[in-house]
C-alpha cells in the first residue's frame, strides 16, 4: 500500500525548515553575503574620515571592541556556565516521547491504539568524589579564564600605549623630513632624479614613513576593534611613568607580579588536582542511582500513571584493584611531569627576574644616551641660520639624523618599560569578579 502523501510532505517540510536541502547552495549563499560585505568595506574605506581619539577613550573602545578580549570574556562566560551546570545537573530532568507502531499495509487505517506517548522523569546523581573533582576543576578553569583575561587586557593596553608613542614619533619624523626638504637646490629638470646619498636617503625614508603609516593604521584599528575612522591618536593624553625615579618594587610581593604568580600557582594547582585524581582511583566511590517509572504513558490504548512502588533507589560502591599496576604507572608519570614543570617554572622565574634587572639598568643607560642626544639637538638648534640654502639643508639633515636617533631611543625605552609595567601591580586595577553562585541567587 502506498505511503500517505501527508507523511511524505511532513518529512520534506522538516528538511526544508532545517535548511538541509543542498549544501552547495547553502555555501553559495554564504559566499554571496561575504562578497557583498567585501564590496561595502572597499567603499567605506575609500571614504574614511579622520577621528581624533584620546587615551582613555581608546582604552574603553579597545576593551569593548577588541576581538581577542571579547573571546576571553566568552571563555569566562563558558567557564561560569560550566560551574553552574554542576548544580543544575542535580535537578530532576524529563523527556517526552511519542511514536506509532503499525504494519505498513495498515498505515491508512491508523487509530489511537497505534500511537504511544510517554512522559519520563529522571535524576542523575554523580558519585560523591567525582562530583567534588568536577566542581574543583571547574572552579580552577573559571579562575584561569578570569586571570587570563586580566593578563590579556594588560598586554593589549601596553600594545596600545606603544602605538600612541609610535604614532607621535611618526608624525614628528614626517614633519622633520618635510622641513629638511624645504631647502633644496634651485629648480631643475633633474631635481626628481636626485641620486646623491642624501637624496636617496630622504626618498627611502619618505617611502618608509608612508608604509609605516599605513601599517600603523591597520594595527590601531585591530587593537581598537574598530575601522570606522582613520584614527588620529592624541599623544598628549597618554600616561607616562618613570621607572628610573620610581623603580619596580620587586622586593614587595603585593606590588610586583601578583597576577603572574597567581597564574603560575593555578597551573601548579591544576597539576596537583590531576595527581589527586589518579590517587583517588585507589579509593572507593559512592554512587547513588534512582530509577523511576514513566510519569505518564499511553500505549495501545492503555493509560498508565506514576506508581511510587516502582520507584527504586540504589547505593553502589566500587573499588578498582590495580593488579596490572596501570594506576601506579600513571601516578609516576604525573609526578615526573609535575616535577619537570616545577623546575621549568623556577627557571623561567629566574630568567624573568634577571631580565627585569637588566631592563632596569638598560633604562638608566637609555636615559644617558637620550640626554646626550638632546644636548646635541639643543646646540644644533642654537646655530644661526645661514643665508646659504645648502648650509641650511645640511643643518636640517643633521637635525633629521638626531631626530631619528631620538625616535629609536624612545622606542627602546617604551619596550624596556613594557616588561616592568606588565608586572607592576601599582599601575593596574584588579577586576572584582562576581561568583556564579551569587548570580544564580540574584536571578
Q: Report the pLDDT value the prediction gives residue 128, as an integer from 0 to 100.
A: 67
Per-residue pLDDT tens digits for 70-118 = 999 999 999 999 999 888 887 777 778 777 777 766 666 777 667 777 7
Residue-level pLDDT at 198:
59
Could you tell me which residues come within 8 angstroms of residue 231 by beta carbon, excluding any fewer than 6 positions away?
50, 51, 53, 217, 220, 221, 224
Cβ-based burial of 317 (10 A; exposed 0-12, middle 13-18, buried ≥19): exposed
Strands (E), 374-435: none
Closest C-alpha to 410, from 181, 208, 259, 240? 240
* pLDDT at position 294: 73
Q: How far is CA 328 from the centre of its chain?
A: 38
**How confident is the model at residue 16, as a pLDDT?**
53
Contact between 300 and 113 (Cβ < 8 Å): yes
Distance between CA atoms of 441 and 324, rounded to whole angstroms? Answer: 48
The domain locations on the chain are: 48-90+125-284+319-442
In this prediction, residue 190 carries a pLDDT of 47
Parallel, antiparallel or unpaired: strands 302-305 and 312-318: unpaired
Q: Strand (E) positions, 216-368? A: 230-233, 285-291, 296-299, 302-305, 312-318
Please, are residues 411 and 169 in contact by the beta-carbon 8 Å criterion? yes
pLDDT, block means (10 residues), the chain with 443 residues: 48 55 82 86 80 94 95 95 87 77 69 72 69 89 95 95 89 74 51 56 75 88 90 89 89 92 94 88 76 71 72 77 89 94 94 94 92 86 67 70 84 90 92 67 46
* Residue 194: half-sphere exposure toward Cβ, Cα within 13 Å: 17
User: For the chain, what is the largest distance between any 2 Cα atoms, rounded to a whole number of angstroms?
Assistant: 113
> What's the confidence (pLDDT) of residue 440?
46
Report the SS3 class of residue 120: strand
C-beta separation of 210 from 170 below 8 A: no
Q: From CA 427, how far away is CA 287, in angstroms rounded? A: 50
Given this model, what pLDDT does residue 127 score?
A: 65
Position of cell 610586583? Answer: 256
SS3 286: strand
* Per-residue cell: 68: 581577542
> Containing H/E element for 363?
helix 326-382
Q: Could you say which of 1.20.1600.10, 3.40.50.720, 3.40.190.10, 3.40.50.300 is the CATH number of the domain covering 48-90+125-284+319-442?
A: 1.20.1600.10
Segment 198-216, tens digit of pLDDT = 566 667 777 887 888 888 8
Phi-psi region of 394 (alpha: psi -120 to 50; beta: other; left: phi over 0): alpha
- Distance, first Cα to last Cα, the chain: 56
- The reported pLDDT for the residue numbered 344 is 94
**Euclidean distance between CA atoms 320 and 282, whole angstroms:** 6
Amino acid at each position: 500500500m502506498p505511503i500517505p502523501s501527508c507523511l511524505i510532505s511532513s518529512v520534506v517540510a522538516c528538511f526544508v525548515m532545517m535548511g538541509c536541502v543542498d549544501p552547495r547552495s547553502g555555501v553559495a549563499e554564504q559566499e554571496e553575503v561575504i562578497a557583498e560585505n567585501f564590496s561595502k568595506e572597499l567603499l567605506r574605506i575609500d571614504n574614511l574620515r579622520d577621528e581624533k581619539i584620546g587615551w582613555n577613550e581608546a582604552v574603553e573602545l579597545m576593551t569593548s571592541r577588541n576581538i581577542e578580549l571579547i573571546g576571553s570574556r566568552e571563555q569566562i562566560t563558558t567557564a561560569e556556565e560550566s560551574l553552574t551546570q554542576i548544580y543544575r545537573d542535580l535537578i530532576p530532568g524529563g523527556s517526552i516521547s511519542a511514536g506509532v507502531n503499525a504494519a505498513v499495509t495498515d498505515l491508512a487505517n491508523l487509530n489511537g491504539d497505534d500511537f504511544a506517548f510517554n512522559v519520563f522523569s529522571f535524576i542523575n546523581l554523580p558519585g560523591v568524589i567525582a562530583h567534588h573533582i568536577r566542581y574543583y576543576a571547574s572552579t580552577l578553569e573559571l579562575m584561569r579564564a578570569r586571570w587570563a583575561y586580566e593578563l590579556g587586557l594588560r598586554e593589549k593596553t601596553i600594545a596600545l600605549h606603544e602605538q600612541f608613542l609610535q604614532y607621535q614619533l611618526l608624525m614628528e619624523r614626517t614633519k622633520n623630513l618635510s622641513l629638511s626638504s624645504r631647502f633644496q637646490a634651485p629648480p631643475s629638470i633633474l631635481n626628481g632624479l636626485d641620486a646623491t646619498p642624501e637624496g636617496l636617503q630622504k626618498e627611502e625614508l619618505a617611502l618608509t614613513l608612508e608604509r609605516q603609516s599605513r601599517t600603523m593604521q591597520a594595527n590601531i584599528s585591530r587593537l581598537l576593534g574598530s575601522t570606522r575612522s582613520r584614527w588620529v591618536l592624541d599623544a598628549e593624553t597618554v600616561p607616562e611613568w618613570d621607572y628610573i625615579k620610581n623603580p619596580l618594587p620587586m622586593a614587595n610581593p603585593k606590588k610586583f607580579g601578583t597576577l603572574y604568580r597567581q597564574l603560575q600557582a593555578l597551573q601548579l594547582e591544576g597539576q596537583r588536582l590531576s595527581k589527586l585524581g589518579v590517587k583517588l582511583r585507589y579509593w572507593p566511590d559512592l554512587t547513588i542511582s534512582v530509577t523511576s517509572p514513566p510519569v505518564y504513558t499511553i500505549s495501545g490504548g492503555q493509560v498508565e500513571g506514576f506508581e511510587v512502588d516502582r520507584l527504586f533507589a540504589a547505593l553502589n560502591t566500587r573499588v578498582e584493584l590495580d593488579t596490572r599496576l596501570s594506576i601506579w604507572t600513571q601516578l609516576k608519570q604525573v609526578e615526573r611531569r609535575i616535577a619537570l614543570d616545577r623546575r621549568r617554572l623556577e627557571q623561567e622565574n629566574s630568567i624573568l627576574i634577571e631580565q627585569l634587572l637588566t631592563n632596569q639598568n638598560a633604562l638608566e643607560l637609555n636615559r644617558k644616551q637620550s640626554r646626550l642626544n638632546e644636548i646635541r639637538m639643543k646646540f644644533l638648534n642654537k646655530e644661526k641660520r645661514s643665508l646659504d640654502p645648502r648650509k641650511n639643508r645640511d643643518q636640517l639633515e643633521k637635525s633629521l639624523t638626531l631626530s631619528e636617533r631620538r625616535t629609536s631611543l624612545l622606542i627602546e625605552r617604551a619596550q624596556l618599560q613594557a616588561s616592568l609595567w606588565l608586572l607592576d601591580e601599582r599601575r593596574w586595577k584588579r577586576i572584582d569578579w562576581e561568583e556564579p553562585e551569587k548570580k544564580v541567587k540574584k536571578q
